[in-house]
Amino acid sequence: MKPNIKDFDLSELKELLLSSGEQRYRAEQVLRAIYIYRISSFDEIKIIPKHLRDYLTEKFKITVFRNISYQHSSDGTIKFLFHLSDGEAIESVLIPSEFVNNKKSGSRKTLCVSTQVGCTFNCAFCATGKLKFKRNLNTSEIIEQYLQAEKFIGEKITNIVFMGMGEPLLNYDNVKKAVIILLYPMFKLINSKKITISTSGFIPGIIKLADEHLPVKLALSLHATTQGLRDKLLPNCKSWKLKELFDSMEYYYRKTSTPVTYEYILFDGINDTQDDIKRLSRISKRIPSKINLIPFHTIDFTNPTGFSETLKPASGNKIHWFLRELKNKGINAFLRTSSGLDIDAACGQLALKSGLS
């Protein structure tokens, strides 16, 4: 099977063309045609000689997905179902604009990108984990989500969040290469300040991200302020204890000088107490950070069992009380909206559920 040319970054393609007797500068021309002019066939790249177009056609493919389906939410959110070449599938979510603390945050268009088929962590509150892990996505499969979503809406995507299906830091190399390609200054695809990688707490990946200074923002799916509760909510993350996890977040900040985000889903009667507020206050003041409060979105369509079955969303009044108490303690806290609820596209709901057209 021919490799996809979108799996190669600029330096790799330069070396590959050089080894084939071509000039290195041709690599930028090829990638410019792909990422700026969005060509679908090498024959469309008229700036390069025909023999090179023939060589590229023989050696590489451009297309990534076999089929694309989509579903519109009443709030403007779009959920994409991308069918991969091996028969697997992933979902991505485009949020046209976002409400923070009940205020519209401008005209941003945020794409929630997947990095794996399924997930290894099987978090109690997340539908994706019920699919089990199949494989990592290739770089081309990550980038293509962005390209296809932008093509669909006919406008620029302003923000990318690696918060879709899978744990990004368990697919570090392909995620890193995708970020590098998206941030090429000559292509101007997206601003480096507009990319966020969210992790369930894979400490080796956090350290690597810090050491390599990948220019992205880091968010941690925290959801619990005690080890016992976190072990129940994220059972496959037990290897990474909260103390070491917070140490790694501090390490990341010290190395990058980039404030971090703590994501916190509120569950009724479980992690919504005054004691949780006190602990969150101490956690968030350790390094410059913010806390994003997220309502719990039901995953009843996955027929959850065990601890997952007991999880209920905190009430609206409780969420606003929790937010108010954090702010009263001087915490940089925000309430995120539940975009795409009517199409099961909200946080934690991606599970390849049917209904897309």
| Contact indicator for 293, 343 with CB cutoff of 8 Å | no
Active site residues per annotation: 91, 347
- Contact of 183 with 192, CB cutoff 8 Å: yes
Displacement of CA 256 from its chain's centroid (Å): 20
Q: Which residues is 263 bridged to in the sheet?
A: 221, 292
End-to-end CA distance of the chain: 29
**What is the number of other CB atoms lying within 10 angstroms of the CB of residue 247?**
15
